[in-house]
Structure 1
Amino acid sequence: MSAPDLTAALERIPGWFWPADQRLFEWFLSDDRPGDVLEMGTYLGKSAVLVGSHVRTGENFTVCDLFESDAPDADNDVETTRSYASLTRQKFEQNYLSVHPALPEIVHGPTSVILDHVKADTCRFVHVDASHLYTHVQGDVLAARTVLKEGGIVAFDDYRSEHTPGVALAVWEAVAGLGLAPVCISSQKLYGTWGDPVPVQERLLAWLGTREDLWHTTDVLGDRNLVRVNQRKKPKPASPTSDVDRLAVELRRTTAELKKVTAESQNAVKALKKATKEVSLLGPVAHRATAWLRRRT
């Protein structure tokens, strides 16, 4: 798979996977430590095609999603019907195979069954982006903790969106009571570990220092640090520096002024024609008035 193929797929496949998180996924997945990869909730495969490009020989990539199947409970059924009506396994497979030669292992069902398919302490990276309901996310948190190897990374989507308070509660409960240590956050995702976050953060900060497309800052939260990352806004075009650039700018400016002068000239010609017409109409009237005055005299 070539980089242009992956870039084109990320632009083409529908989904909510922003550039900052794409870069963070690439960095976390490039870690040298071996291990399997798991994605719980995949939608149409936008993040999966990127994850799949970082799965190495001997590693397993597992994707778990309900796709078009019935949800396990009424609330979850309402959620999937409202938000993911267009999701089908066939569309996911088409999108994934447009980039990769073979599919990952697919668990077609709720994330509550994932521990029947992925062994404990085997994963180096887990992406949680399934249900937004609190009780389901609780289960996903526990599943992620179970399958992650020591020092593995978990990424939780929608940890702060106004329409997903259940995710926020479950994730921050895990931070407060289950030992989850946040490494960094973006506008959409929280990245954490059940290991020591400090060595990971140090390597992450060193890498972020080389990235001109990302901005970052570090917040102190009590006895821990939290790195915030997001996409840097594109800079405004630089002022012209070469003679060619300056001439091009001057030519554009001159062309604009010429158009303005031409328009003003055209308006002046129209006004002159109108005045000339009015004078020609007044000529006979003035002649008759002069003749009348002579007769009266």
Structure 2
Amino acid sequence: MSAVKVEITPRSLDRIPGWFWITDQRLFTWFLQARGQEEPPGDLLELGTYLGKSAVMIGSHLRPGETFTVCDLFESDAPEAANDAETSRSYSTLTREKFEQNYLGFHHTLPVVVHGPTSIVLDHVAAKSCRFVHVDASHLYVHVRQDVLSAREVLRDDGIVVFDDYRSEHTPGVAMAVWEAVANLGLAPICVSNHKLYATWGDPAPIQARLLRWLESRSDLWHTTDAFDGWELVRVNERKKPAAPTPGGDPATLGKLSGELQRTTAELKRAVAESEAATQALRKVTSEISLAGPVVQRAVRWTRRITRGKRA
């Protein structure tokens, strides 16, 4: 079991570079613990871990008898030119050492690390062994499609899979592979955030119902439900705090503020003028003292001479 060293909060996770937004942090936490301790043990898997931001949170939900595996190329060469160009462009700072340092900043032990392309993950993770899989590796269609098939292979029937970048303009390969799985491979969406799609190859209805009950209790998350041909999709996003009210165009308020501004400006000008006058007076006194210095010194010397003469 992975023991937590420090509390995992959005603020503490900010220490790790990466793209793991508040909405998804909360959804990950819910999906990883939604069914509670009555859920039988199931392993956890992350395909593409970058510097460990989401892995840290996933690892905090590892229970006795479970294994957490991460798979990433890290600094190794990609298996083909297009994948290598993608890795060099987007993940040039990624190394296994940096990932391990970040992870050990929160946990006492590392997950199982598969250092290589995600195409080899089936050699390391058993079929039907996982309850949660996060897919955030290559954005190229051919690789994402393989990751979809790998996720389906390792997930048990009621397991949850999460796909990152399912809708970004720079990742059409992810969108194509994910929605192809929905159309042709029986993948059932549960919910989406701005950045991730949460789905299952099992029955989505029971967990979707629990999710909606949980969302109703949250004041920090906004949600709505869209109906499609035979299934529903929950959309979730962070609820932004309302901005502080502004004066707007209220004439009375603006007039009051204008009067206060004029009074403050007048007081400031008066203070500046008094300060300048005091400065000039100080300069005059300093100059007079400077001029009077030699006269005073001569007067003191003559006084001493006269005094000595009288004594003699």
Q: Is the 8 A contact 1:185 1:229 kept in 2?
A: yes
In structure 1, what is the equivalent of residue 140 of structure 2?
133
SS in 2 for 1:190: strand
Q: Which of 247, 266, 278 is residue 261 of structure 1 equivalent to?
A: 266
CA contact (8 A) 1:179 1:194 kept: yes
Aligned with 2:14: secondary structure? helix
Task: Report % sequence identity.
Answer: 64
Which residue identity lines up with residue 266 of structure 2 in the other structure? Answer: V
Indicate whether 1:234 and 2:237 are aligned: no
Asked if 1:105 corresponds to 2:112, the answer is yes
Q: 2:78: which partner in 1?
A: 71
Gaps of 5+ in 1: 240-251, 270-297
What's the counterpart of residue 15 of structure 1? 18
Q: Does the Cα contact within 8 Å between 2:6 and 2:106 map onto a contact in 1?
A: no
**Residue 28 (structure 1) aligned to one of 28, 31, 37:** 31
Alignment partner of 1:189 out of 171, 189, 196: 196
Residues 45-97 of structure 1 deviation map (CA, whole Å, 9 limit, x = unaligned) = 00000000001011000000000000011110000001000000000000000
Give the 3 Å change call, closer, same or farther, for CA 5–140 of structure 1 in structure 2: closer
Residues in 1 aligned to 2:118 and 2:159: alpha-carbon distance in whole angstroms: 19
RMSD of equivalent CA atoms: 2.4
In structure 2, what is the Cα distance between the partners aligned to 1:83 and 1:226? 31
Cα 1:253–1:20, aligned 2, differ >3 Å: closer, same or farther? farther
Q: Please point out which of 75, 80, 85 is paired with 2:92.
A: 85
Check 1:232–1:2 CA distance in 2 against 1; reply closer, same or farther (3 A cut): farther
| TM-score between the two structures when normalised by the length of structure 2 | 0.78
Tell me, yes or no, if structure 1 residue 221 matches structure 2 residue 228. Answer: yes
CA 3–218 in structure 1, closer or farther in 2 if over 3 Å, else same: farther
SS for the counterpart of 1:71 is coil
**Cα distance in structure 1, aligned partners of 2:51 and 2:135:** 15
Contact 2:5 2:108 in 1 (8 A): no
The offset of 1:257, in angstroms, is 6.5
Post-superposition shift, 1:235? Answer: 2.4
Answer with 1 or 2: which has the greater Rg.
2
Q: How does 1:131-280 map to 2 (within 5 A)?
A: 131-237=138-244, 259-263=264-268, 265=270
For 1:108 and 1:178, the matched residues in 2 are separated by: 28
Cα displacement (A) at 1:179: 0.2
Report the Cα distance in structure 2 between the residues aligned to 1:45 and 1:257, rounded to whole angstroms: 55
AA paired with 2:30?
W
* C-alpha separation in 2, matches of 1:78 and 1:7: 31
Instruction: Name the structure 1 match of 2:282.
Output: none
- 2:45 is the counterpart of 1:42: no
Correspondence for 2:298: none
- 214 and 259 in structure 1: CA distance in 2 versus 1, 3 angstrom threshold: same
SS at match of 2:223: strand
Kindly state the Cα deviation for residue 7 of structure 1 after the two structures are TM-superposed.
4.0
Q: Specify every segment of 5 or more residues in structure 2 that has no aligned partner in the other structure, as ranges.
A: 247-256, 275-312
Distance in 2 separating the partners of 1:254 and 1:92: 58
TM-score by length of 1: 0.82
Amino acid at match of 1:226: L
Q: Following the alignment from structure 1 to structure 2, what is the Cα–Cα distance between the partners of residues 43 and 16?
A: 9
CA positional deviation for 1:263? 3.4
Q: How many angstroms does 1:9 deviate by?
A: 3.4
How far residue 196 of structure 1 moved from its aligned partner, in angstroms, is 0.8
